[in-house]
Amino acid sequence: MTENQTPKIAVITGPTATGKTALGVLLAKELNGEVVSADSMQLYRRMNIGTAKPTLAEMQGVPHHMLDVAEPNCPYSVARYVSEADACVQSVLARGHLPIIVGGTGLYIDSLVAGRDFAGEATDEKLRLELSEKYDTLGGEAMRDELFKLDPERAAKLHPSDKKRILRALEVFISTGKTITEHDAETQKKPPRYDAAVIALSFAERNDLYDRIDRRVDLMLQAGLFDEVRELLNSGVPENSTAMQAIGYKEAALALCGEITQEEAAERIKRESRRYAKRQLTWLRRKSEIAWILWNKTPDFDFARRYSTNFFSSLGVI
């Protein structure tokens, strides 16, 4: 009786280092699922240690999608993620399996679930560069004023320093003739692509999360993060590529070229990871429909498995 309903899928998210990968595999095994990763950095090939990408052993035979789908020297985007990940989800559904979205990139998950459209076809690098130079010479106020004439609604929401968003809003208008506000309104009108049951993992105490992050960074360092980054750099991945903006990678790159010590790099990686986790929490906290599992000191996967299963079945996902 539910043939034409919005497909139901499961989502496991949460800040970094909370056990999403492990829980995803556990649930996939139990619920006949396949994992679709929602991680903006794990999708790059040859970036394994620093992204905490699941190893073959950790995957335990569970199919994982959206891992290793791009070269580190090519830019990726939400738009591309949505179309590729959506194809994966569809194929999982076609196989009669449960798609389990696992990852911490909030924007990717939201966009995939909503089936969001993005304005414009491909990015026009030349236009982007032009706008960027204009911004740098004229300043944020002037550029925001310019946007105000085209799209006052969006301009009012943006801070003059918010270069990326001001430029994107301008870029959308120039390349499509429509304001980004109009685009947003249109895509918001569409019904969600999927009916997602979202579980978020975190720790009851912020300090426990932070301790875990620190410990994991130490493990990454021991596992050879610096070597991994050196290889990427040697293979010609530019330092300003999107992939190299990943936490752990940019700091390691600085240490490798001697700008900072390895100790300093290690500290920065920890600090940036903690901050990242905080931003992830900010993103997730405003979503009311999320079911949170808050670890007490250390993950309890047996509890999480039962809790998640109950939650999914109560929502008719399984």
Determine the length of the chain.
318
Measured from the CB atom, the residue of 283 and 301 that comes closer to RNA is 283
Which stretches of the chain bind RNA, using CB under 7 A?
A: 16, 39-42, 50-52, 75-80, 104-108, 111, 116, 118-123, 128, 132, 159, 161-165, 167-168, 172, 180, 183-184, 187-188, 206, 242, 245-248, 271-272, 274-276, 278-283, 285-286
Side-by-side strand order, sheet with 98-102: 64-65, 33-37, 98-102, 8-13, 195-203, 291-295
CB atoms near residue 311 (< 10 Å)? 17
Cα dihedral across residues 260, 263, 268, 273: positive or negative: positive
Measured from the CB atom, the residue of 90 and 161 that comes closer to RNA is 161
Least Cα distance to 246 among 67, 10, 108, 43 occurs for 43
Measured from the CB atom, the residue of 248 and 317 that comes closer to RNA is 248
Measured from the CB atom, the residue of 125 and 302 that comes closer to RNA is 125
Q: How far is the CB of 39 from RNA (least distance, A)?
A: 5
Beta-sheet strands, E only, within 107-171: none
Q: How far is the CB of 98 from RNA (least distance, A)?
A: 23
Q: How far is the CB of 281 from RNA (least distance, A)?
A: 7
HSE toward the beta carbon, residue 56, CA cutoff 13 A: 0
Cα 132 off chain centre by: 25
Q: How far is the CB of 277 from RNA (least distance, A)?
A: 9
Tell me the three state secondary structure of residue 129: helix
Measured from the CB atom, the residue of 95 and 133 that comes closer to RNA is 133
Q: Do 18 and 210 meet the contact criterion of CB atoms below 8 Å apart? A: no
- What's the CA angle centered on 252, arms 250 and 256, to 5 degrees? 115
- Kindly report the backbone phi and psi dihedral angles of residue 207, in degrees, each rounded to the nearest multiple of 5, phi listed first: -65, -30
- Kindly report the backbone phi and psi dihedral angles of residue 231, in degrees, each rounded to the nearest multiple of 5, phi listed first: -65, -40
Measured from the CB atom, the residue of 95 and 215 that comes closer to RNA is 215
Burial string for 114-146 (b: 16+ CB within 10 Å, else e) reads bebebbbeeeeeeeeeebeeebeeeebeebbeb
Q: Tokens for 146?
A: 């310019």
Q: Are strands 195-203 and 8-13 parallel, antiparallel or unpaired?
A: parallel
Q: How far is the CB of 61 from RNA (least distance, A)?
A: 22
Measured from the CB atom, the residue of 86 and 300 that comes closer to RNA is 86
Q: How far is the CB of 239 from RNA (least distance, A)?
A: 12
Find where tokens 């925001």 sit.
144
Measured from the CB atom, the residue of 16 and 308 that comes closer to RNA is 16
Q: How far is the CB of 129 from RNA (least distance, A)?
A: 10
Q: How far is the CB of 137 from RNA (least distance, A)?
A: 16
Q: How far is the CB of 127 from RNA (least distance, A)?
A: 11
Measured from the CB atom, the residue of 2 and 126 that comes closer to RNA is 126
Tell me the three state secondary structure of residue 196: strand
